[in-house]
Amino acid sequence: MTSPLLTPLETNLISLTNRVVMAPMNRRRAVNGIPTESMITYYVQRADAGLITTDNTAISANSGAYLHTPGIYTSEQKLAWKKIVDAVHDRGGKIFIQLVHSGRVGHSAIQDGAPLVAPSAIRVSENIRLPDGTHRQMEMPIAIPTAEIPLWIEKFVQASANAMEAGFDGVEIHAAHGFLIDQFINPWSNSRTDRYGGSTENRIRFLVEVMQAVSAEIGRDKTGIRLSPFREIYDLKRYSQELATHQLIMDELQKLNILYVHFSNAMVDGRPTIPTEYLQDARKRFKNLIMIAGGFNIASAEKILSSGLVDLIAMGKLYISNPDLVERIKYDLPLASWDENTFYTEGDQGYIDYPKHHEI
C-alpha cells in the first residue's frame, strides 16, 4: 500500500509531488549571513521533498538571532540564494524561504552592532554565543516606537520581494518560537499600551499587518506562516487569553486566504503542545492548507494525515540524517539517526555527509 505521505497534493493554489515537507532548520552554516556552496549541496540532496522550507532567514541585520544565520536583505545574499533555488528547481523540487525577525532574541555583537528591537523593553534571561566564543545574556531590546512599526513591516515586504527575485516558490513568515511576531502576540513580552498591545486584537495586529502586506506584495498563493501556539520558549509562558488569541489569528488568516498555516508542535513530558482539539478547531476556521511538524515518525505522520486533520507533515531531524527521506518511505528502508553535536557547527561534517541509502 502506498504511504499517504507519498500522495501528491493538488489544489488550485499549489501542486506538490508528495506530502513530506522539509521543516525549516537554521543550520547556521551561512558564513557571515551569506548562503554557501555547501548549502546548495545540502538542499539539492533533499530536493525530492514535496516542499523544502529553508533555514530561518534574516530580513535585516538585527533579525537573525544567531551567528551565521542566512539573510536576504542584501543583493549578495539574494544572489547566493538564487543559486540554491535554481539548483533545487533543476532537480524538480519546490522551495519556500522562511523569513524571520528575531526581535529581542540575539545580541548586537552578532549583528554589526545593530540593537535588538522588540514590542517592549523586556529582556530574555538566556545566554547566547558571541563571535568571540564567549556566552553573554541577550541584551535589553529597544521597544519599537509606534511610528516605526511600518518600517519593520516593510522589511518583511522587501525581504519577500527579494525572495521572489531569487526565484523562491513562496515565503513562510516565522511567527513562532518566541521571535518578533510571537513577542507581539504574547503578553509576557508585550506590555505596550498603544494599538499593538493589550487586547487580543491589538496583540495580533502586527502579525495581521505583516501577513496582509506580504501577501499583497507576492500573492496569497505564495504566502505561508509558522505558528507555535501553547509553546513556552525564550521566556514566553502560557497566558489566560491564549486559546482565544490563536482562534482569532486563524480567523484573520482565513480572511487573508493565504496558502498555508504551519504549526510547530513540541512534545513536552510525552504530550503534544498542540492538542488534537485545537487542530480540529483550527481546521474549521482556516480552509487552505495546514501543515504540522514536531515529533513525528513515519507511522504517526501517516496516521495524522489519514485522519484528515492536516494536509502536510514537515520533518525536521529526520531530514537532517536522511537526505533521501522520500525514497526511504517509498521502499520502506531503515532510517538513519541524527547527531545533535553537528546541528549548528560550522563546516560540512554532519551537514552534507549523511549518505543516501544506496550509498551506505
Which residues of this chain interact with ligand FMN, rule CB under 6 A? 23-27, 55-56, 98, 174, 176-177, 226, 264, 293-296, 315-318, 343
Minimum distance from residue 191 beta carbon to ligand FMN (Å): 25
State which residue, 192 or 246, has the beta carbon closest to ligand FMN. 246
Minimum distance from residue 121 beta carbon to ligand FMN (Å): 25
Q: Cell numbers 528575531 label which residue?
A: 102
Query: How many residues comprise the chain?
Result: 360
Minimum distance from residue 117 beta carbon to ligand FMN (Å): 20
State which residue, 143 or 291, has the beta carbon closest to ligand FMN. 291
161-200 burial code (b ≥16 CB/10 A, e <16) = bbbbebbbbbbbbbbbbbbbbbbbbbbbbbebeeebbeeb
Minimum distance from residue 282 beta carbon to ligand FMN (Å): 17
State the cell numbers at 279. 487542530
Minimum distance from residue 291 beta carbon to ligand FMN (Å): 10
State the cell numbers at 85. 533555488
State which residue, 204 or 320, has the beta carbon closest to ligand FMN. 320
**Closest listed residue to residue 257, CA positions, set 211, 201, 308, 217:** 211
CA distance 225 to 211: 8
Contacts within 8 Å (CB) and 24+ apart, 318-324: 319/22, 319/23, 319/25, 319/46, 319/49, 320/25, 320/350, 320/354, 321/354, 322/354, 323/45, 323/46, 323/354, 323/355, 323/356, 324/45, 324/48, 324/356, 324/357
Minimum distance from residue 327 beta carbon to ligand FMN (Å): 18
State which residue, 177 or 192, has the beta carbon closest to ligand FMN. 177
State which residue, 40 or 227, has the beta carbon closest to ligand FMN. 227
**Closest listed residue to residue 120, CA positions, set 101, 146, 100, 138:** 146
State which residue, 21 or 143, has the beta carbon closest to ligand FMN. 21
Minimum distance from residue 344 beta carbon to ligand FMN (Å): 6
State which residue, 67 or 318, has the beta carbon closest to ligand FMN. 318
Minimum distance from residue 156 beta carbon to ligand FMN (Å): 15
Q: Which residue number places its CB atom closest to ligand FMN?
A: 316
Q: How many CA atoms lie within 13 A of 106 on its CB side?
A: 31
State which residue, 296 or 354, has the beta carbon closest to ligand FMN. 296
